[in-house]
Amino acid sequence: MAKTSWYNERPNACHLVYLDKKSKELEKLLNHEKTMIIRGAQGKKSPLGGRAKIGETIYFVNTGGDLRVTHKGVISNVIESEKMTPEESIAFIQKYEAALNLSKAQLERWNGKKYLAVYEISDLIEVEPFTYNRTTNMDDWIILSDINEVKKLD
């Protein structure tokens, strides 16, 4: 359980999060067509279980892209569900539908999950682009103590 302890005791965590390139999530965030991103889990607990907190920095990388990070923002709100039925899951998504601005494929992906969480993003700004050194990590949300941990050395 040392990992859980690290999440709880970290002073300034940051997050590297994949956005769906096909659904143009980053573009929608930049154009203020969406203000929230979503994560879900079918297992026994919430997708991030309280490890993403208000005020933390979040960096974005597109799925299927060149692993370039070009923007960051701040998590301004976190709403995590309790265990839900498929119907409750659909209602949860509908409640935040305007802020999420999900594509049809994304709706199909998240509808019916036992646990969902939405993260409101604010203060989105461009950063000096860098390449994410993915190595073997296959997660779509990575929690770090420092973004430099995953910067690829050019």
Taking only the tens place, the pLDDT of each residue in 15-59 is: 999 999 999 999 999 999 999 999 999 888 888 888 999 999 999
* Per-residue pLDDT at 3: 43
Span 86-100, average pLDDT: 97
Residue 117 has pLDDT above 80, yes or no: yes
Q: Among 6-10, 14-18, 70-74, 116-120, whose mean pLDDT is lowest?
A: 6-10
* Per-residue pLDDT at 73: 98
Span 144-153, average pLDDT: 87
State which CATH number among 2.40.37.10, 3.90.330.10, 2.30.130.30, 3.30.457.10 fits the domain covering 2-145. Answer: 2.30.130.30
Segment 132-138 long-range contacts (CB within 8 Å, at least 24 positions apart)? 132/16, 132/61, 132/67, 132/68, 132/69, 133/67, 134/67
Cα 86 from Cα 40, distance rounded (Å): 12
One-letter-per-residue 3-state SS of the chain: CHHHHHHHHCCCCEEEEEECCCCCHHHHHHCCCCCEEEEEECCCCCCCCCCCCCCCEEEEEECCCCCEEEEEEEEEEEEECCCCCHHHHHHHHHHCHHHHCCCHHHHHHHCCCCEEEEEEEEEEEEEEEEEECCCCCCCCEEEECCHHHHECCC
Can you give the pTM of this predicted structure?
A: 0.89
* Per-residue pLDDT at 139: 81
The band of 4, judged by pLDDT with boundaries at 50, 70 and 90, is: very low
The band of 8, judged by pLDDT with boundaries at 50, 70 and 90, is: low
Span 107-115, average pLDDT: 95
